[in-house]
Amino acid sequence: MNPFRFLRRSLHWRITFLIGTGMLVLAAALRLSSLWESKEISARVLSERQGLARAVADHLDYVLQANLILLQNVALEARAGIGEEDIAPLRASLREAFLRSIFTGGIFLLDQTGKRVWSEPQRSLSLPEPGKLPLIRQALASGKPEVSNLVPGGRKIYAVVPVRDWRGKLVGVVGGELDPESSRFRSLLHPLRLGDTTYLELVDGQGIVLASTRKGRTFQKSDHGRFLRRLIQEKRSVVGTCHSCHEEGGVPEREREVIAFAPLRVAPWGVSIRQAEKEALASVLLIRQRLFLIGTLTVLLSLLFAWGVARSVTRPLGVLTQAAQRIAQGNLDEPIPALGEDEIGRLAYTFDQMRLALQDSLATIAEGKRDLEKRVQERTQELERLYRELQSKEEIRGELLKKVITAQEEERKRIARELHDETSQALATLLVSLETGVATAPDRLKEHLYRMKEMVDRTLDSVHRLIFDLRPSLLDDLGLSSALRWSAERHLESLGIDLSFTVTGVERRLPPEVETTLFRIGQEAISNIARHADAESVRVVIAFNEKSVCLQIEDDGKGFEPEQVVQAGQGGQGLGILGMQERAALLEGNLVIQSAPGRGTRVHVEVPLREGRKGGGL
């Protein structure tokens, strides 16, 4: 799992983190540079300390050198005097040197065997055996001035200068005894005013303190004895901080110190300046402390600043986000507050303009929608009105059609009755008269009358056919199937067409309008077969169902395109088929004509039977 995931999810934390990290890096860099700076300062302080130690060592060198010169002068005096009887001048010079030098213990002259020739002051000086003082042998061997370490037994220091005769041969030594406790020697280390914890020490080549600005340190072993001994041997200056100042056993642990050490050139000694680190590097420590304080404060302030910057960005963004959510939820009324003149402020302003524009367009759309709805409603009402109008017109048309058809049927009936009662009666009477006339008339008229009788006979036949077509009495007397069968036989069989006639279901009398309608439809279909089909066989089926009656007339003739006929019917053609459809429709029946060129024709009509169907026969 990514530990920085929270940064990806929060802009606030991201900005805080980035600025904070930048500030921390800056603070760390500053801290590093200040550390480096304070190191530089402490190095400078240390090098100053070293310079100081060097200066003190130089001063001591100078004093020792001057005293060795005094001894040297005595040695020059002594090269003539040694071995002479009269040593008065030599004594005088020894005395003078004793008074002027730092050799408060006394000055002495030894011959080359180490035997004392003279010493000043005569009494107080109790020289150690020359054999026990390696320094004298050393000086006699090397021929150079020598300064000793602290000689253990007597807590004294000795300096010797070799004496040469005129030929340069070593004939003895002039020496001086130094008492480290003498005030003249002690005054060599003037206390340096460097602070409360600073002290100077003069250490000999054995690590023993010869003089110290601190009380009680003289003749003690220095706590850094071994180290200082080596430095003195190697004639090396050194400066540093002492971290574990407990080298030689028995020396109590001390606080951290700054030590600057410089060896002397003339004597096997060295000068050390020591000071508590706290004091020596007080300024550096103070700088470090202050820097730490300033650094911590800077980091805290920078984090606060980063947080503030992040907040100044994310707060208006939060306001904007809330506004966007409100708008997404459809609340366009609440305005987006002004968020200043910066980029986010401008964004908020633009966003608010967008909100207003959106509000405007939504209002326009709503108005348009209302307008449209109103118009649709008006249109629907208009259509409903038109539909009702059409329906009532359709009803009226149906009524009219019904009336027309009824009137037509009535007229047919009337004409048929007239033809039957008047014309066919008259023709029958005429026929009987003519038959009588043929029997009784003279021969010359007989043939004439006979032809007349024949003509009347044929006319009577066609009147009967006309009467039947107009209104077959069979339909009223025997019903649909008998009338239709008779009509089919009469029209089709005379044309040599093979006719099959089937009745299914329970044959019964139907309401007169149903019978008339189905008869007229059948009559038209049969007439069409006779006139147009060129058929060889025809099949008629009447099906008496429980709730409807079906009539189907099918031929195997040449067929036709019913659609074309119906369209062409507009111009006056195909009124027969149209009439069939109208009649079926008046009884809420359904008429289907299936036909195609060369495939025969099938006319199928179904009329529902409803109880209480009203209306006269059509």
Ligand X SMILES: Nc1ncnc2c1ncn2[C@@H]1O[C@H](COP(=O)(O)OP(=O)(O)O)[C@@H](O)[C@H]1O
Residues forming the site for ligand X (CB under 6 A): 528-529, 531-533, 555, 557-560, 565, 574-577, 601
How many C-beta atoms surround the C-beta of residue 105 within 10 A? 25
Cis peptide before 121 (omega within 30 of 0): yes
Of 322 and 500, which has the nearer Cβ to ligand X?
500
Partner touching 574 among ligand X, Mg ion, none, CB below 5 to 8 Å by kind: ligand X
The token duo for 223 is 């706590």
CB of 565 to ligand X, least distance (A): 5
**Nearer to ligand X (CB atom), residue 153 or residue 496:** 496
Which one of the spans 2-10, 331-339, 538-546, 571-579 is the region binding Mg ion (CB under 5 A)?
Answer: 571-579
CA gap 152, 540 in Å, rounded: 167
The secondary element (H helix, E strand) that includes residue 239 is: strand 238-242
Minimum gap (Å) between residue 560 Cβ and Mg ion: 11
Cβ-based nearer residue to ligand X, 437 or 574: 574
Spatial separation of the C-alpha atoms in residues 343 and 362, rounded to whole Å: 28
Residue 311 contacts which entry, ligand X, Mg ion, none (Cβ below 5-8 A, type-dependent): none
Smaller CB separation from ligand X, 93 or 601: 601
Whether the CB-CB separation of 146 and 152 falls below 8 Å is answered with no
Q: Which residue is nearest to ligand X (CB)?
A: 576
Using CB under 5 A as the binding rule, whether residue 222 contacts Mg ion is answered as no
Q: Which is nearer to Mg ion, 249 or 571 (CB)?
A: 571
CB of 618 to ligand X, least distance (A): 18
Of 352, 209, 226, 353, give the one whose Cα is nearest residue 272: 209
The entry of ligand X, Mg ion, none that residue 565 binds, CB within 5 to 8 Å by partner kind: ligand X
Given 523, 528, 552, 581, the residue binding Mg ion (CB under 5 A): 528
In angstroms, give the least distance from the CB of 602 to ligand X: 9
- Where on the phi/psi map is residue 219: left (φ > 0), alpha (ψ -120 to 50), or beta? left
* Nearer CB in complex with Mg ion: 576/608: 576
From ligand X, Mg ion, none, interface partner of 81 (C-beta below 5 to 8 A by class): none
Q: Which two tokens stand for residue 194?
A: 């460097």
Considering just the CA atoms, what is the radius of gyration of the chain in Å? 78
| Shortest reach from residue 556's CB to ligand X, in Å | 10
CB of 480 to ligand X, least distance (A): 20
3-state class of 399 per DSSP? helix
Among residues 576, 578, 609, 613, the one that binds Mg ion under rule CB under 5 A: 576
Enclosing H/E stretch for 393: helix 343-418
Minimal CA–CA distance to 118: which of 182, 169, 173?
Answer: 173
Residue 357 vs 575, nearer CB to ligand X: 575
Answer yes or no whether residue 314 interacts with Mg ion by CB under 5 A. no
Reported as type and span, the H/E element at residue 41 is: helix 11-81
Output 15 or 577, the one with its CB closest to ligand X.
577
Pick from ligand X, Mg ion, none: which does 558 bind, CB < 5 to 8 A by kind?
A: ligand X
Task: Count Cβ neighbours within 10 Å for each residue of 403-413 and write b for 16 or more, e otherwise.
Answer: eebbeebeeee
Taking the complex as a whole, the smallest distance from the CB of residue 542 to ligand X amounts, in Å, to 18
Which of 48-56, 232-240, 397-405, 526-534 is the region at the interface with Mg ion (rule: CB under 5 A)?
Answer: 526-534
Q: What span, in angstroms and rounded, lies between the C-alpha atoms of 582 and 412?
A: 19
Q: Which of 618, 524, 614, 541 is nearest to 577 (CA)?
A: 524
Residue 569 contacts Mg ion per CB under 5 A: no
In the complex with ligand X, the residue whose CB is nearer, 236 or 531, is 531
Residue 458 beta carbon to ligand X: minimum distance, rounded to whole angstroms: 26
Given a contact cutoff of 8 angstroms between Cβ atoms, the answer to whether 475 and 464 are in contact is no
541: β partners = 502, 552
CA distances from 81 to 75, 108, 150, 191 (A): 9, 14, 30, 42
Stretch that binds Mg ion, among 389-397, 505-513, 570-578, 587-595 (CB under 5 A): 570-578
Considering the complex, what minimum distance in angstroms separates the CB of residue 562 from Mg ion?
A: 13
**Cβ closest to ligand X, residue 242 vs residue 521:** 521
Name which of 355 and 583 has its Cβ closer to ligand X.
583
- The three-class DSSP label of residue 18 is helix
Partner whose binding site includes residue 309, from ligand X, Mg ion, none (CB under 5 to 8 Å by kind) = none
Between CA 607 and CA 548 the distance in angstroms is: 6
Strand order in the sheet with 537-544: 498-505, 537-544, 548-555, 601-608, 590-595
- Binding footprint of Mg ion, residue count (CB under 5 A): 2
- Transcribe 520-579 into DSSP letters: HHHHHHHHHIIIII--SEEEEEEEE-SSEEEEEEEE-S----HHHHHHHGGGTTTHHHHH
Establish if 50 lies at the interface with Mg ion (CB under 5 A): no
Question: Does residue 562 bind Mg ion (CB under 5 A)?
Answer: no
The identity of residue 414, as a single letter, is R
Q: Taking contact as CB under 5 A, which single stretch among the options 154-162, 405-413, 520-528, 604-612 is the one that binds Mg ion?
A: 520-528
Q: 201 vs 555, which CB is nearer to ligand X?
A: 555
Instruction: Report what 577 binds from Mg ion, ligand X, none; CB cut-off 5-8 Å by kind.
Output: ligand X
479 vs 576, which CB is nearer to ligand X? 576
And the tokens for 247? 């080298």
DSSP state of 221: B
Q: What sign has the CA pseudo-torsion 313, 316, 322, 326?
A: negative
Binding window for Mg ion (CB under 5 A); candidates: 282-290, 395-403, 432-440, 521-529? 521-529
- Which is closer to ligand X, CB of 532 or CB of 613? 532
Q: Is 601 a residue that touches Mg ion (CB under 5 A)? A: no
225 binds, among ligand X, Mg ion, none (CB under 5 to 8 A by kind): none
d(Cα 338, Cα 347) in Å, to the nearest integer? 10
Q: State in angstroms the smallest separation of the CB of 580 from ligand X.
A: 8
User: Least CB distance from residue 569 to ligand X, whole Å?
Assistant: 6
**Residue 45 carries which side chain, given as an amino acid letter?**
V
| Shortest CB 611 distance to ligand X, Å | 33
Q: By the 8 A CB rule, do 232 and 245 touch?
A: no
Least distance from C-beta 366 to ligand X, angstroms? 58
Rounded to a whole number of angstroms, the minimum distance from the CB of residue 546 to Mg ion is 32
For 287, counting Cβ atoms within 10 Å of its Cβ (0-12 exposed, 13-18 middle, 19+ buried), the class is: middle
Residues that bind Mg ion (CB under 5 A): 528, 576
